[in-house]
A = this chain, B = another copy of it.
Amino acid sequence: MRTVNAAQRAAKREALLDAAAQCFAERGYEATRTADICAVVGMSSGNLFHYFRTKHDVLLALVEREGTQTAAFLTELGAECGPFDALLGLLEAVCEMAADPVAGGLALEISAQAHRDEDVALRYKANDRSFRDGLAELVRAADAAGEIRTDLTPEAAATWLAALVDGVFARVEADPDFRPAEQSAVLRRLVTHLLREGGV
């Protein structure tokens, strides 16, 4: 019995996080009312507070979930193919994500909130750290496999890969004519340059 309830609870928490992701992406964290989130999952307004102590907690949980999902994605990606192909595959995936208004909007919103909220910042930076660690790991592996040749440290390479990812997300928001899918060739070229071409 307790298991069933726990599973139901978890499912509802997830549903609420999904709804919150959608609302935050569309309207932003502050402009989203807790009642909006409840409405999306068809729940009564006060009920959210059985699952999260505060609206702020919803955001924190969401940021944490994003980090977990990204980490899982990175791990999965590395297992499927060689490390350099994994990195290139990641870029394709990022371009797809950036084109999705919810994913793109949420990423933007979280980074904006991180700038003004200590708690969010902590988790956001941890996520970013773990993302860059994953990238650096792939870079190291690619190097070990002889797939790449660069004088950048794996960490510096990871930093710039992350910057490119950020750049793609930002372009989608700023430029209505920017279609990430159509730009993956240039992106791939930049990455290849970063990792295969030598010296500063």
Indicate whether A83 reaches chain B with its CB closer than 8 angstroms: no
Indicate whether A71 reaches chain B with its CB closer than 8 angstroms: no
**Chain B residues whose C-beta falls within 8 Å of the C-beta of A174 in the assembled complex:** 111, 114, 124-125, 128, 162, 166
Indicate whether A99 reaches chain B with its CB closer than 8 angstroms: no
Q: When the two chains form their complex, are residues B163 and A26 in contact, meaning their CB atoms are under 8 A apart?
A: no
Indicate whether A171 reaches chain B with its CB closer than 8 angstroms: yes
Q: When the two chains form their complex, are residues B159 and A171 in contact, meaning their CB atoms are under 8 A apart?
A: yes
CB proximity of A200 to chain B, nearest CB, Å: 5
Interface mask (A183-200 → B, CB under 8 Å = 1, otherwise 0): 101100110011001001
Complex alpha-carbon distance, A169 and B26, angstroms: 22
Identify the closest chain B residue to A109 (Cβ): B112
Identify the closest chain B residue to A29 (Cβ): B30
Q: Is chain A's binding surface mostly helix, strand, loop or mixed?
A: helix
Q: When the two chains form their complex, are residues B28 and A116 in contact, meaning their CB atoms are under 8 A apart?
A: yes
Count the A residues whose beta carbon is within 8 Å of the partner chain — how many? 48
Task: Give which listed residue, B30, B164, B176, B185, contacts A163 with CB less than 8 A.
Answer: B164
Indicate whether A146 reaches chain B with its CB closer than 8 angstroms: no
Indicate whether A73 reaches chain B with its CB closer than 8 angstroms: no
Tallying the copies of this chain within the complex gives 4
CB proximity of A52 to chain B, nearest CB, Å: 18
Complex alpha-carbon distance, A194 and B164, angstroms: 13
Task: Give which listed residue, B116, B152, B183, B185, contacts A186 with CB less than 8 A.
Answer: B152
Task: Give which listed residue, B28, B113, B159, B194, contacts A178 with CB less than 8 A.
Answer: B159
Complex alpha-carbon distance, A166 and B27, angstroms: 22
**Chain B residues whose C-beta falls within 8 Å of the C-beta of A129 in the assembled complex:** 175
Give the 7 A-B CB pairs with smallest separation, nearest first. A163-B167, A166-B170, A167-B167, A112-B112, A30-B30, A128-B174, A28-B116
